[in-house]
Structure 1
Amino acid sequence: MTATADGARVDAPHKRAGAVPLSAHLRELRRRGGWAALGLLVGAVAGWFLYTPVFQALQEPLLDVARARHDVVALNFAGLATAFDMRIKVSLFLALLLSSPWWLYQLWAFVTPGLTRNERRYAFGFLGAAVPLFLGGVALAWWALPNAVRLLTEFTPDGASNLIDVQTYLVFVMRLALAFGIAFLLPVLMTALNFTRLVRGSTWLRGWRWAVLLTFVFAAVMTPTPDAITMLAVAGPMSALYFLAVGVCLLHDRRLAARRALELESLDDDAAIGR
């Protein structure tokens, strides 16, 4: 706060970067998007050469089921160009994972100019949390994949063959991995909104019931398996991360309130000395 001529106190504006025109924001968005696309392109090249071992790992859960059931459970390349198309899609999927630190950095770099100097320091902390959380979610999806494949293929009647379209299977794996990865980014988004002072921690806390409900709905929709185990594997960690993020936001709000109280006390002392 600052003192006016008649002794009244008014809130001092928070020191932020100057207003930036919309055209400048669009240019920055286009520039950051271009850098992110370049990172994806480099990741796709690496994914092209990693295709063979990755594809072998992808079909291993199906081979395990086939060995256990003594039935034909295999991927089917239905079209002439399906194998080539599959390689491109797997390369792009690997590019999304391999370049995740890069495109997440570009996302934060786009947000950072709108923050104060103190808030800008937290961007690197957010990035350091976002990358392992996203990759950790993908790793958890990879762990859940064999169980999901086993449960779904158990509906195949005895003596029947289960020839799975390879592109359908890839979409299944991608949905599972991205559902886990994006879900684990939720606490980073929450803390980012709190640190930019758009949402208070108490607001997140008041909405915890809706958050848990939406978390379970999201897990039920995005995990393409009918069992409750996989859904709980997504919803459980998401709920825990939500409450962890709420705690971080509340702690940040408390520190911010204490800092403002000290600033107000200092201004009152200065005003008293001036009188």
Structure 2
Amino acid sequence: MALSDHLRELRARIIKVALILAVGFCVALVFYDRLFDLVYNPYLDAQRALGSHRTQGVTEGVGAGFLLYFKLSGLAAVVATSPLWLYQIWAFILPALLPREKRWTAMFVAIAGPLFILGVVIGYVTLPKGVQILISFNHSGVLNLVEFNDYLSFFIHTLLMFGVAFEIPVFVVMLNKAGVLPARVLKSARPWIVLGIFVFAAAATPSTDPFTMCMMAIPMCILYGIAEVIARVSDRRKEARKPYADLDPDQPSPLP
């Protein structure tokens, strides 16, 4: 297509994304109370474990509740409609990809999506324990006031880090398929990679407690092990497809 056609296509995709987000935002406004409970329940679980005399949730400013109403609804709209607006981006890029690239990209999306959701779910399950440990560092005679906007940022950061962490094995497999990371390199570097996973989990989890760190690091180690096995099988298939792969490299070839 000509450049003007590409720009018109881009404009049409942007308009569709805007309409999708607008509809999602309106729907989120209707279900705001349920969204609020979904986000706030991990803190309430931590509060019940600590006792209401130790911590209390607050909002700051006259218009804080109003801004929170729209902020949380907008966030929910972006997350809930992500398959639709991501498809619009995918549909814009798709014509430029080769058939092999389309196949690998589709496989990547099919695997990366569920893994990201799995990471978010595990992050949500472990969040109350992390919040409880962080608040417990306060002296028993001091009331901890949790401003909801700060808590919302903490909530998003935690779930996002868990989701991204579960994507690392997918990138390992993709780099192996591209020939950047052979299986022998993954095997030799395995102890350092496992150590790096635990260091990453310790730095990525805001709660700094070993329970939350292990809930991120142990599944990552398991997924890395699966990725290494896939890379090993893939490298063997590549070697088998090479000409003269079954010949001994030390054996001289016959002369005609």
Q: TM-score, normalised by structure 2?
A: 0.76
1:134 aligns with 2:116: yes
Unpaired runs of 5+ in structure 1? 1-22, 266-274
- The residue type paired with residue 130 of structure 2 is A
Contact 1:138/1:177 (<8 A) preserved: yes
Tell me, yes or no, if structure 1 residue 170 matches structure 2 residue 152: yes
8 Å contact kept, 2:119–2:163: yes
User: Structure 2: which amino acid aligns with 1:207?
Assistant: A
AA in 2 matched with 1:175? H
Q: How does 1:157-236 map to 2 (within 5 A)?
A: 157-236=139-218
Residue pair 1:194, 1:200 contacting (<8 A) in 2 also? yes
Asked if 1 retains the 8 angstrom alpha-carbon contact of 2:108 and 2:170, the reply is yes
Distance (whole Å) between structure 2 residues aligned to residue 110 and residue 194 of structure 1: 27
CA–CA separation in structure 1 for the residues paired with 2:58 and 2:129: 21
Q: What's 2:238 paired with?
A: 256
Mapped to 1, the partners of 2:89 and 2:224 lie a distance apart of: 21
Q: 8 Å contact 1:101–1:131 — kept in the other structure? A: no
Shift of 1:126: 1.6
SS at the partner of 2:242?
helix
Q: Is the 8 A contact 2:54 2:140 kept in 1?
A: no
Alignment check: 8 A CA contact 2:13 2:92 kept: no
Change in CA separation of 1:236 and 1:124 when aligned onto 2, cut-off 3 Å: same
Tell me: CA distance 1:40–1:57, structure 2 relative to 1, closer, same or farther (3 Å).
Answer: same
What's the counterpart of residue 244 of structure 1?
226
Cα distance, 1:44 vs structure 2: 4.1
Matched with 1:60 is: 41
Tell me by how many angstroms 1:195 deviates: 2.6
Equivalent residues in 2 for 1:32-47, closer than 5 Å: 34=14, 38=18, 43-47=24-28
SS at match of 2:146: strand
1:257-272 maps to which residues of 2 (within 5 A)?
Answer: 257-261=239-243
- Indicate conservation of the 8 Å contact 1:104/1:131, yes or no: no
Q: CA RMSD in A?
A: 3.5
2:203 is paired with a residue of what secondary structure?
helix
Please identify, of 54-63 and 77-86, the stretch whose mean Cα deviation from structure 2 is larger.
54-63
Q: Structure 2: state its 5+ residue gaps.
A: 248-255
8 Å CA contact 1:43, 1:99 repeated in 2: yes
Deviation at 1:132, TM superposition (A): 0.8
> What is the CA deviation profile of residues 71-101 of structure 1, one whole-angstrom value per residue up to 9, with x for unaligned ones?
1633211012222322333234324432443
Please tell me the residue identity of whatever aligns with 2:215: A
Q: Residue 167 and residue 95 in structure 1: after superposition, are their counterparts in 2 closer, same or farther (change >3 A)?
A: same
Q: Secondary structure at the match of 1:158?
A: coil
Tell me whether 69-78 or 172-181 shows the greater mean CA deviation.
69-78
1:157 shift after superposition: 2.9
**2:242 & 2:130 partners in 1: Cα distance?**
51
Letter of the 1:239 partner, please give it: C
CA contact (8 A) 2:239 2:245 kept: no
Please report the TM-score for the alignment, with normalisation by the length of structure 1.
Answer: 0.72
Listed as ranges, the matches of 1:22-37 within 5 Å are 34=14
Q: State the SS of the aligned residue for 1:75.
A: strand
- Select the residue among 67, 83, 100 that pairs with 2:65: 83
